[in-house]
Amino acid sequence: MSSTNTVASAILQLQVISQDISIALGFILLISGTIGNWNHNASSLYIFVKSLFHLFVLIIGVTNQITRLGFNLDLTAQSRVWCKLAISLINITFLNSLTCMCLQSIDAYFCSSRSPTWRQKSNVRMARYYIVGFLFLWICHVMPYGILYDLLTRGSISICTTINPNFVRYNTYFVNLCLYAVISIIIVSVFSFLTYRNLQTLTTQDRHSLSTLTRQMISLALLQVITLLVFQVPYAIVQIYTLVTINLAKSTYRQAQEQVVIYFFHGYVYGTFTCSFYCYFIVSKR
């Protein structure tokens, strides 16, 4: 019986790995094929790819959030395969979205520079390499999720989670706190400040020499830091508070209060991915 269970588990792992490979290849072909035919500037390419990932984040992440918290129906707990795939897809799309936001901020800094050398660093060819490179990096990063996450039954409730303590710590301290919040906030904030400082040093003639599209992309990058501060910073604060107080003895009432706050900000953080259209709409009117 034990050998049969081992074989069944191995078959499931192979099925998940094959699906992960299919998804990885699909993402790479989709993104690389799309950006390979892009002839506008680098910032607009970052925005376009970022919008695609934002759409995936909202469809997969927010849908699961609504059904799990609003209707007490965790879609990831309905199937072992979907448990493994959903957590991988959410992480890939989330990380690639934040990466494109960071790359867009860096590119805006290059575009706003008075130095021709720095401005030349903003080009579509390098943007394609960065996007595909980071896509491959994050796909490799989420591979362990498909292996270590599984359905666990506690009483009559099934939960999609992992019991590997090292991976739990890695996911809690590095992924949720650093990758999802702190690093992206720092990069976007720093380069937005540098971009703003560059704009203050430009003469009127320098500003007129920038194309309309470039000026719009720079403005959009500066608006982006506002969305991050509004949506990502509260999420980061909640994550830090949770980690700092994790070993404190708490009353049931306090735990219930904290759960309300945590649930709210876990949904609130998705606002980062809903503001792209509105930011672009504001900038395009200028």
The Cα-based distances of 111 to 135, 183, 188, 189, 283 in angstroms read 24, 22, 15, 17, 17
H-type helices in 112-182, by residue range? 116-119, 124-148, 165-169
- What confidence tens digit (pLDDT) does each residue in 138-180 have? 989 998 888 888 888 777 777 888 888 898 889 888 998 888 8
Q: 205: domain range? A: 2-284
- In a 3-state reduction of DSSP, which class is residue 202? coil
Determine the Cα–Cα distance for residues 199 and 194; give it in Å rounded to an integer.
9
State phi, psi for 159 to the nearest 5 degrees.
-130, 135
Q: Which residue's entry shows tokens 């309309």?
A: 212
Q: Give the H or E element holding residue 285.
A: none
What is the pLDDT, as a whole number, of residue 10? 58
Could you tell me which residues are beta bridge partners of residue 161?
Answer: 150
**Which positions ≥6 away from 23 have C-beta within 8 Å?**
85, 88, 89, 92
> Is the Cα torsion angle 150, 154, 158, 161 positive or negative in sign?
negative
What is the pLDDT, as a whole number, of residue 134? 94
DSSP for 61-104 reads IIHHHIIIIISS--GGGS-HHHHHHHHHHHHHHHHHHHHHHHHH
Model confidence at 181, in pLDDT bands (50, 70, 90)? confident
What is the pLDDT, as a whole number, of residue 141? 92
What is the pLDDT, as a whole number, of residue 7? 57
The Cα-based distances of 250 to 83, 234, 253, 255, 258 in angstroms read 31, 22, 8, 6, 10
What is the pLDDT, as a whole number, of residue 133? 92
pTM, entire model: 0.79
Report the CATH number at residue 257: 1.20.1070.10
Comparing CA positions, the residue from 32, 39, 31 lying closest to residue 55 is 31
For residue 138, how many C-alpha atoms fall within 13 Å in the half-sphere facing its CB?
A: 26
Q: How many domains does the chain fold into?
A: 1
Between 283 and 273, whose confidence is greater?
273
Comparing CA positions, the residue from 138, 61, 126, 58 lying closest to residue 99 is 138
Does residue 26 surpass a pLDDT of 60?
no
- What confidence tens digit (pLDDT) does each residue in 204-222 have? 665 655 656 566 666 777 7
What is the overall mean pLDDT for the chain? 78
What average pLDDT does range 192-202 have in this prediction?
Answer: 81
Model confidence at 18, in pLDDT bands (50, 70, 90)? low
